[in-house]
Structure 1
Amino acid sequence: MTGTRRTRPSLPVSTRPGRDTASRTRPRARSLALSAGALAACASLVAGCGVVPGTAGGSGDDPVVVMTWAPEKTDANNEPGMPGMAEAYARWVNSRGGINGRELKVLTCNERNDSVAAARCAQRAVDEQAVAVVGSYSQHGRASLSPLAAEGIPYIGGYGVTDDEFTSPTSYPVNGGQPALLAGLGEQLSRTCGPVVLVRPDTIVGDEMPVLLDAGLRTGKHPGAADELAAEDGTSYQDQTQRALRRATSDPGRKGCVVPSLGDRTDTFMDSFRRERDGYPAVRTAAVLGSIEQSLIDASGGKSGPYEGSYVTGWYPEASDKRWNTMNKVIREHAFGDNRVDPADPGVQTTWIAYTVLKAVVEKLGDGEVSAHTVRQTLNNGLKVTTGGLTPPLSWRYDDLVAVGGYPRLINVNVTFQVVREGRLVAARQEFVSVRKTLESAL
């Protein structure tokens, strides 16, 4: 159900200048009489009366309207699986009678990796009176989140790629975002790699990467990574590959590691890397999930490809873990062959977890009003959401906020360590690893 949009209250009649008592009283009496008449009409003709906007959620008859946005068909990062997963989730819950009998209506929007388009998606969510934006991706946090915050619409389970997702008071993240991934990868590499070279986009988001990776590397007394900048939408990375390989082999006594963190363009970089690495057999690769996934490993040759032996850090258990069984079943039965929805994609996984949170909120509200305000209030009041072990229990009370550095909305600082063995992405450690101390030292 939708939330009531707040309007600026008018000046009380009794305080307006130039009005006498009689002129103040007559309109008020007439207004009360009209209200009484309207109520009487509703009492006798219930079926013919409308419901005040923002309050119909209590009836359970109106759909719960939410939005999921992500960039699709752009020259840079794309996350089409996130709206695809949202649509499949809605088909699944609606086939089971909805959430507490309420239909889930999912709106999707192409954010296009563009600040203007991101703002338009957010404005559409406002105009459609969505009760939340769920499981979405945008590199333009300010453009997309500001319109939501102005209307009090919660942003549940963003991908975690911008600072705004961890600072906006109406944002409810489910993972540690890019900060946790890079800090965790640094920890994973700190004791196994010699020289480390980070190949990252020359963007504002990319500028934060070296600081976070180095914080993790320092936990093992590593001197830090060399920083190699690249175009976010490049079509060839031969020059960056050659420089990265030279830097990674600058210490002949230790095996170096190259860390490509270019999102969708990581496979483009690896095409160059595969051709150039023959003269550098000792160099290994490492990445965060989102830059490397099982589908990319398969497409690049599996166990005979360049990712064999790569270290990978993620937010969640590996895709083959049985804790994903329910999501996998939903994808099989309700994605209807939608090839956008890859169960190993961390964006798809994040959207699944975000909708798990939304479902828990609506169930908690029971027969009560479902609006942006009540969804936000339920989350703020300490609802604890369990995700079947895919994350620690999630809660956004003040006491649950980790509040590391400039990330006051951060609640989940756990990551998973994975490695590519025999062409498969598998767990390097079975348990979650907290990077809270590493982030505290970096931010």
Structure 2
Amino acid sequence: MTGRRRPSSRPLRAAAAALCTAVCASVLTGCGAVLPNDAEDPPITVMTWAPEGTKATNMPGMPAMAKAFARWVNGSGGIHGRKLNVVTCNERNDAVQAARCAQRAQEEKAVAVVGSYSQYGRSFISPLEVAGIPYIGGYGLTQEEFDSPYSYPVNGGQAALLVGNGRQLASRCKRVALVRPDTIAGDELPQLLDTGLRAGRRDAAHDVRAPEDAGDYSKQATSALEGVGADSSLGTAAQGAALDGSCVTAALGNRTGTFFDSFRRVQEDHPKVRIASVLGSVRQSLVDSTGGGSSPLEGTYATGWYPAPDDPRWNPMKKVISTYAFDDNRIDPNDPGTQTTWIGYTVLRSVLMSLRADDISARTVRNALDDGHAVDTGGLTPTLRWGYGDTLHVPNYSRIVNADVTYQVVRNGRLVAVRKGFVDMAKTLEEYHPAD
């Protein structure tokens, strides 16, 4: 006899136990125990930062809009059933705090930073790059937002605004003065405005630097008027002739209202400049607070990124605000910061919904965007995508994919479109050559 052994029954018993376990997991009965309910899927965390409560430009509506967007998404079923968790950070218009906000995004395991405002790109972009976190829909103040491969801008930033403003004013103004912040972010604005003016065959603007947190801008207003030809030694008629076709444009964020208070007082001793033009900084709330139809801003031209505030394409955003943030007075639907946040989160939601629920991370979000995921913003911008070949060829602004602007004017106390549709600044921006 060979003495062959009978097969052991242990493998059979193990297989039976495994089968019972699998059946238990599916029917939760039949094996002497009831399994607990599955834990709820963890939320998807993102971050939004902006300065609040500072003496300079504040953007409290951006984090407030982010929170409202999250409430709307979560009230509509979430992202594949997972909740969207928005963490906010006060950037305080401070370089150190901007870096801390970026570090906190890493600590919170944020899959993206969305719809945020900061003039300290050098401080926040490096920590985000180290952590691999994409920056979607920043306000567009800094060059870093337009040259970092981790940044996905939804507009052309200040570059498109200034170049567009120059083109807009060139058709109406013989001489232009620019009043802008005396900051690193503000230093590039004159060159950009001049690019637009040159495209319209006008001379460079008179550059007036101004502190971004001043309570009075009389000195800067006087300098602007002198820069476009005001001369108190001339008679009234001669001064009027000298100032014919002169324009002053200001880019001082929410200090623009303060500047125009000073400008109006200084104008009492000078013939009035034909057009006082501001960009981006002009909001319907500023027109309302300065007199509506009788506002000194009546007739002011403005360049924006998006359709005018009365455009019906904003209705979905306004509905979300009225439903999920109706009592939050920080949110102004006509503010470009609020609007940029809405568009940034529209991009985020589109990308997240394209991913598997169990495969959402900073890496997969970034990969989807880099692979050319296309986002329809309901006509508020052209279709947005950041794949290879989608970016424009603009020196120092290699991440721009949308160079469209809109021309607007204050008419009868309302900020309305001058012309239908967008004006593409891509070709003009390609002529921009920053000084060394």
TM-score normalised to structure 1 length: 0.85
Cα distance in 2 for partners of 1:136, 1:222 equals 35
Does residue 1:387 correspond to 2:386, yes or no?
no
State which of 289, 301, 322 in structure 2 corresponds to 1:311. Answer: 301
1:253, distance to aligned residue in structure 2 (A): 6.6
1:438, distance to aligned residue in structure 2 (A): 1.4
Does residue 1:288 correspond to 2:279, yes or no?
yes
Per-residue deviation, residues 374-402 of structure 1 (Å, max 9, x unmatched): 10011111110000000000000011011
| Equivalent runs, 1:280-429 vs 2, <5 Å | 280-289=271-280, 291-429=281-419
Does residue 1:83 correspond to 2:63, yes or no?
yes
Cα distance in 1 for partners of 2:60, 2:393 equals 31
Cα distance in 2 for partners of 1:320, 1:61 equals 40
State which of 175, 181, 187 in structure 2 corresponds to 1:201. Answer: 181
Partner of 2:87: 107
Partner of 2:262: 272
1:254, distance to aligned residue in structure 2 (A): 2.8
Cα distance in 1 for partners of 2:274, 2:110 equals 49
Does residue 1:134 correspond to 2:125, yes or no?
no
SS in 1 for 2:119: coil
Q: Which 4+ residue blocks in structure 1 deviate beyond 4 angstroms? A: 43-47
Greater Cα shift, 180-189 or 199-208: 199-208
Partner of 1:232: 212
In structure 2, give the amino acid aligned to 1:226: H
Partner of 1:192: 172
SS in 2 for 1:205: coil
SS in 2 for 1:312: strand
In structure 1, give the amino acid aligned to 2:319: K
CA RMSD in angstroms, aligned pairs only? 1.7
State which of 159, 163, 184 in structure 2 corresponds to 1:183. Answer: 163
Partner of 2:197: 217
Cα distance in 1 for partners of 2:429, 2:348 equals 28
SS in 1 for 2:186: helix
Cα distance in 2 for partners of 1:400, 1:345 equals 28
Partner of 1:7: none
1:188, distance to aligned residue in structure 2 (A): 0.2
Per-residue deviation, residues 215-256 of structure 1 (Å, max 9, x unmatched): 001111101200111111111111111221232245627321
SS in 2 for 1:207: coil
Cα distance in 1 for partners of 2:304, 2:213 equals 23
In structure 1, give the amino acid aligned to 2:383: P
- Contact 1:245/1:283 (<8 A) preserved: no
Does residue 1:169 correspond to 2:169, yes or no?
no
Cα distance in 2 for partners of 1:282, 1:165 equals 35
Q: Which runs of 5+ in 2 are unaligned?
A: 1-17, 27-38, 231-240
Partner of 1:92: 72
Distance 1:408 1:282, change over 3 A: closer
Q: Which runs of 5+ in 1 are unaligned?
A: 1-39, 48-58
In structure 1, give the amino acid aligned to 2:44: V
Per-residue deviation, residues 81-134 of structure 1 (Å, max 9, x unmatched): 000000000111111111221100000000000011111111110011000001
- Contact 1:248/1:283 (<8 A) preserved: no
SS in 2 for 1:252: helix
SS in 1 for 2:185: helix
Structure exhibiting the larger radius of gyration computed from Cα positions: 2
In structure 2, give the amino acid aligned to 1:208: E
Cα distance in 2 for partners of 1:263, 1:316 equals 17
State which of 239, 248, 253 in structure 2 corresponds to 1:263. Answer: 253
Greater Cα shift, 228-237 or 104-113: 228-237
State which of 29, 41, 44 in structure 2 corresponds to 1:64. Answer: 44
TM-score normalised to structure 2 length: 0.87
Does residue 1:148 correspond to 2:117, yes or no?
no
How many pairs are equivalent? Answer: 390
1:63, distance to aligned residue in structure 2 (A): 0.9
In structure 2, give the amino acid aligned to 1:152: G
Cα distance in 2 for partners of 1:199, 1:127 equals 40
Percent identity, please.
57
